[in-house]
Amino acid sequence: MANNAKFTTRLGVIAATVGSAVGLGNIWRFPYEAGMHGGGAFLLIYVLFVLLIGVPVVAGEFVIGRYTGENVVGAFKKLKAAPLWHSVAYIGLLSSLLILGFYSVVAGWTLEYIYQAATGFGGAASQEALHAQFDSFTTSGGRQIFWTLLFLAINFFVISRGVQKGIERMSNILMPMLFAILFVFCVNSLFMPGATEGLAFLFHPDFSKIDVSTVLGAMGQAFFSLSVGMGVLMTYASYFSRSTRLISTSVTTAVLDTLVAVMAGVLIFPAVFSFGEAPAAGPRLVFEILPAIFATLPAGSLWAMLFFILLFVAALTSTISLSEVVIAWFVGEWRWSRGKATIVYGIAVALLSSLSSLSFGPLAGFSIFGMNFFDLLDFVSSNIMLPLGGLLIALYTGWKLPRRILRAQLSAPGRDPDAPSPLAVRLIIFSLRFICPLAILAIFLWGLLPH
């Protein structure tokens, strides 16, 4: 896809950006991270990070992307940035690979669960039976690899068809549907016996639960969920037109993304307490709780199928954006055809994901820093690389990029760049210069101290 391709409508811009942001990060990762890190306290810190750091860095990425109209590497070249800043691009490209390495495994789980729903979960409805089923699936090497690779084949097929056709059409219809169905299930959860306990867990912050891992986890989750810190949004913004309003697009994306995560929490935690599952069950949490919820409903298998299909599509619009960073780079800098780029990157991702899909079975014994390969890919990319990318993006846009460019990009089109900036623009710039760098650095340093 040539870099002068543009999203055709305003809805297309929002849908594609929200499509990237909303995915397994909201519905699978948020509840399990919140469950492991004390619920309410995690949610509170997470929301603070989204507002204070997430929104400004999203806007900063948009500025670089739209101003240069380039892929991540091309953008910093065009800006004639010093070599240090080019590392943002390479951190982004590597993050794409690492994230796809575990994300596509979970996306493969959604396919398995569509299949399971279609076959009535083999009759399993109780918590124990669903637990055993998840175990037998995730420890089976072959089945896991099969679904992971099938997911990747679909992803790279869509990618090879280009930006507008592939991404826009799909997300315009299906994202609103996901929203609607989540809402319906949230309401259903509010009538469960464990609703009060579940809601208290999610919304009542227990400050004694806050430690460095809560804060680092919440920061990582904010970056991961917003797809920010690795050039995905920069690449998408290179397809924005001059009339796209960057600040309002960042705020809309953050609000919708956070809403979906909170809705997922409201859906999951009442059920967790109703069924007596541990909130800290980890990556398996959502895949055991959702089928248990569906089993209590009339026409449960149909609901389950619909839900996992929408979850699969939400995952797909996110992996498309993750892949697009690297594809745009191959096409823009290496002058490869889109087809060749797709095949080469597809093979690399397939190899890494196959390996990480074995983390729960044949490679379960293999661990680094107490984490299996899957968790390690997740931890390094979400909690370290994305915040590091975000730190550099904030420093670059806040301190290096000429202020006139930053202001002009952040303001409405046609505004006199010498007129005093609106408050929103000033707040974003202040956060990029001070709040984002200081907060991210402080958390990293805190994480490095002995505990």
For residues 93 and 130, which CB has a smaller minimum distance to ligand PFF in the complex? 93
Minimum gap (Å) between residue 354 Cβ and ligand PFF: 20
Name residues whose C-beta falls within 8 Å of residue 375's C-beta, 6 or more positions apart in sequence.
283, 359
Please give the Cα distance from 335 to 117 (Å, whole number).
44
Written as one string, the DSSP assignment of 163-220 is IIIIIIHHHHHHHHHHHHHHHHHHHHHHTSTTHHHHHHHHHS--GGG--HHHHHHHHH
Nearer to ligand PFF, 22 or 114 (CB): 22
Whole-number Å distance between alpha carbons of 117 and 115? 5
Count of CB atoms situated within 10 Å of the CB of 435? 16
Count, residues near ligand PFF per rule CB under 6 A: 15
CB closest to ligand PFF, residue no = 25
- The one among 59, 232, 293, 350 contacting ligand PFF by CB under 6 A: 232
| 71 binds ligand PFF per the rule CB under 6 A | no
C-beta of 322 vs 436, nearer to ligand PFF:
322
Rg (CA), the chain: 21
How far is C-alpha 197 from the chain's CA centre?
28
Binds ligand PFF (CB under 6 A): choice among 23, 60, 279, 398: 23
DSSP string, 283-305: GGHHHHHHHHHHHTSTTHHHHHH
Q: Which of 216, 225, 252, 227 is closest to 389 using CA atoms?
A: 227
Region of 5 (left: φ > 0; alpha: ψ -120 to 50; beta: rest) is beta
> Which range, of 70-78, 224-232, 282-290, 351-359, touches ligand PFF by CB under 6 A?
224-232
Residue 318 touching ligand PFF (CB under 6 A): yes
Q: Does 317 bind ligand PFF (CB under 6 A)?
A: no
Binding mask 77-116 for ligand PFF (x = CB under 6 A): ----------------------x-----------------
Quote the CA–CA distance of 159 and 340 in Å, as a whole number: 12
Shortest CB 100 distance to ligand PFF, Å: 9
Smallest gap from Cβ 176 to ligand PFF, in A, equals 17
- Stretch touching ligand PFF by CB under 6 A, among 41-49, 292-300, 317-325, 426-434: 317-325
Alpha carbon dihedral 404, 405, 406, 411, in 10-degree steps, equals: 90
Binding mask 174-213 for ligand PFF (x = CB under 6 A): ----------------------------------------
Binding mask 138-177 for ligand PFF (x = CB under 6 A): ----------------------------------------
Binding of ligand PFF at residue 130 (CB under 6 A)? no
Binding residues for ligand PFF, rule: CB under 6 A, are: 20-21, 23-26, 99, 224-225, 227, 230, 232, 318, 321-322
